[in-house]
Amino acid sequence: MNVDSSRAARARITGLTASAAAVVVFVSACGGTGGGSASPKNFSYLTNVENTTVKTALGTLSKGACAAENKTLPLKVDTVPQTSLDQKLQLLAGQNALPVQFAAGNAPALTDQLYKSGKIADLEKKLKDLGVYDQIEPSAVSTIKALYGGKLEVLPYEYNIEGIFYNKKIFSDNGLSVPATWDELVSAAAKLESKGIQPFSASGQQGWPITRLVSGYLYRSLGPDALKDVADGKAKLTDPAYVKAAQEVADLGKKGYFGKGVGSIDYDTSTNTFLSGKAAMFYMGSWVLTNIADPKQNKVGAESIGFMPFPAVSGGKGSIDQYPSNVGLAMTLGDRTFDSKVGNWVKCIGTNYGSVALKDQGSISGFKANTPVKDPNELTSQVRKTIGDSKQNVLWFEALFGTKATTVSQTNAASLLSGSMSAEDFMQTVQDALSSQ
């Protein structure tokens, strides 16, 4: 071997080594941080921009009842628009970089996927170990377990029932009584429209306030198992009885009962429209009680707003005392970062959150309110009583759908109302998305 060839061989080896090192660096850079536990430096909390209730209450706790916990593990809140939440969660989960506490996704299917892959803590066990499991209302536990395959995968920072909030003054001024049936609701809307009052306010940009009306009709007409049957494959959304529900809602849109450009209306605008007295009815969850209790947002006064269940459908199998219930946009805790400091925070939240959220914001949570709190208004008392009295709850339209079907359903909902998509096409599109998963 002469000098030149050995130099060339050395150069080749050096080149190969450098290339291999580059590949290793690249692969390791893309490979995430690996599994195992990691002690967090903050009580990091990722939530959706739209939800201000939970972060405000946690902020209050961090300065009050949980100040000691906050000193050892400071609260750090990050937000993301709700429509981008699922993407962010999946990317963070893939990199093992989920925060300590986070909004668990728009669809329970994603939360369940995270749980099954070990990214979410077994909250039932953790709460029992911390001795605060009994701080959660049994009804909230059963709602969570109904949604998440019998597991406590999320915390009930909110415990909501849904129904129609209505403007009492507009109703009485127009001689309307609370509609007990769908037909009465439609005729009340027609009367309001004829008098130049927008009957409903809804956010087409969010989509779900519209699909909730479809599921409301389905639960009243076909009974509480209407959407479970779809999830179990016993029925299809394209079956005539299901299409009829979409058609009934589409008809409301066709008649202009939701106002102009419903697809461009965001959540805040829809809430503001109702709370400024520009619309008579608003399908929403009881989390809106926070906005109703806030005089800066509610221009019509809490005493002018009533709450009614979704009306019955004549001849239907459902009952109006079956309320859709949920725990809001579910919040959960990562398994990898759940150490003793996080445990202390959770213990403090379990003991104090219920009272603080109710006292400061009129928000009803699934945590027990250990300090007696006077309800901020009569409406909150009515809703709390309804929650306490409810015997059977139902879920919402997309509760048992996967992420794709949920997105497809919510992004097409405004088209159903605007008439650019027929009821058949809407249900077919959602059914196709369901079948493709």
Closest to other proteins by CB, 11 or 67: 11
For residue 25, the minimal CB distance to other proteins (Å) is 9
**215, 310 contact by CB (below 8 A):** no
Closest separation in Å from C-beta 230 to other proteins: 19
The span from the CA of 371 to the CA of 361, in Å, is: 15
Q: Is the dihedral of CA 28, 33, 35, 36 positive or negative?
A: positive
Taking the complex as a whole, the smallest distance from the CB of residue 44 to other proteins amounts, in Å, to: 19
Closest contact distance (angstroms) between CB of 305 and other proteins is: 20
Question: Residue 42 corresponds to which tokens in the numbers above?
Answer: 């903050």
Which of 7, 63 has the CB closer to other proteins? 7
Return d(Cα 266, Cα 17) in angstroms, integer. 56
Q: Which is nearer to other proteins, 205 or 247 (by Cβ)?
A: 205
Residue among 318, 262, 330, 310 nearest 123 (CA): 330
Q: How far is the CB of 244 from other proteins (least distance, A)?
A: 21
Contact residues for other proteins, defined by CB under 8 A: 22, 26, 83, 86-87, 90-91, 93-95, 110, 113-114, 117, 119, 259-265, 269, 272-273, 402-404, 407-408, 411-412, 414-415, 418, 420-421, 429, 432, 436-437
Is the Cβ of residue 54 or residue 89 nearer to other proteins in the bound state? 89
Nearest by Cα to 339 from 98, 42, 39:
39
Residue 425 C-beta: closest distance to other proteins, Å: 9
Measured between alpha carbons, how far is 264 from 408 in angstroms, rounded to an integer?
17
Which two structure tokens, joined as six digits, stand for 35? 């599994």
d(CA 334, CA 92): 11
User: Which is closer to other proteins, CB of 42 or CB of 422?
Assistant: 422
Describe the strand order of the beta sheet including 75-80 as a list of residue ranges: 75-80, 43-48, 101-103, 331-333
Closer by beta carbon to other proteins, 284 or else 433 = 433
